[in-house]
Amino acid sequence: MNLVIMGPPGAGKGTQADFIKAAYKIPHISTGDMFREAVKNATELGLEAKGYMEAGKLVPDEVTIGIIKERLGQDDCQEGFMLDGFPRTTPQAEALDQVLAGMGRKIEVVLNIFVPREVLLERILNRVTCNNCKTIYNLRFLDDHETCAKCGGELGYRSDDRGEIAKTRLEVYLEQTMPLLQYYQERQVLNSVDGNREAPEVFEEIREILEKI
């Protein structure tokens, strides 16, 4: 299964990706996670991406396309993959189609998780992630704001989830990524899912969609 999971920041892509990965055993490829790891390790890629990420802007297409191309060529992607946070621009979607065509493959399903803007901001501003196992939580539903209930790791904010940067990321999504919905609609692979519900309920609808392909 070759899958793309789309939606604005805070829609719940990462949470749903965890459910999908557990149920379908396909690798979860998140460009955001790849960039954060690169920044943490201060690699050349990380140094290049850092400024854009801190401003809530997109890393240039040629850099992002390059890392995805390399990742999709790896062995664990040969039976399928789930892309999260990529593509985010039309040139990225076109490049992805080209890379896959070269492998005799194509995107089979795109999930678009939609959530009202005011809910997105609330979720982003209350989001904490375990520094160890990467589980995502909403602070409003936590008694202990510091420790991961799953692994005991330390919880922390993403630096780009703060105030103005979070708003910029939402604007960037509306301007640069929303047009992709039309791109995938035209290719008849787009499935929209209401993300303004409890995560397991959202996943049930996703499961129904994925069972059909």
Please give the positions annotated as active site.
Answer: 13, 88, 127, 158, 169
Residues binding ligand AMP (CB under 6 A): 9, 31-32, 35, 52-53, 56-59, 64, 85-86, 88, 92, 160, 169
Q: How far is the CB of 9 from ligand AMP (least distance, A)?
A: 5
Q: How far is the CB of 198 from ligand AMP (least distance, A)?
A: 22
Q: How far apart are CA 195 and CA 30, in angstroms?
A: 19
Q: Which two tokens stand for residue 206?
A: 């996703």
Residue 113 to residues 42, 84, 179, 197: CA-CA distances in angstroms? 32, 11, 15, 11
Residue closest to ligand AMP when measured from CB atoms: 32
Q: How far apart are CA 120 and CA 211, in angstroms?
A: 28
CB atoms within 10 A of CB 63: 16
Helix axes 61-72, 44-55, angle to 10 degrees: 130
Q: Which is nearer to ligand AMP, 52 or 157 (CB)?
A: 52
Per DSSP, 166 falls in state H
Using CB atoms within 10 A of its CB, is residue 99 exposed (0-12), middle (13-18) or buried (19+)?
Answer: middle
Q: How far apart are CA 148 and CA 12, in angstroms?
A: 18
Residue 60: is the preceding peptide bond cis (ω within 30°)? no
Q: Which is nearer to ligand AMP, 158 or 197 (CB)?
A: 158
Q: How far is the CB of 41 from ligand AMP (least distance, A)?
A: 15
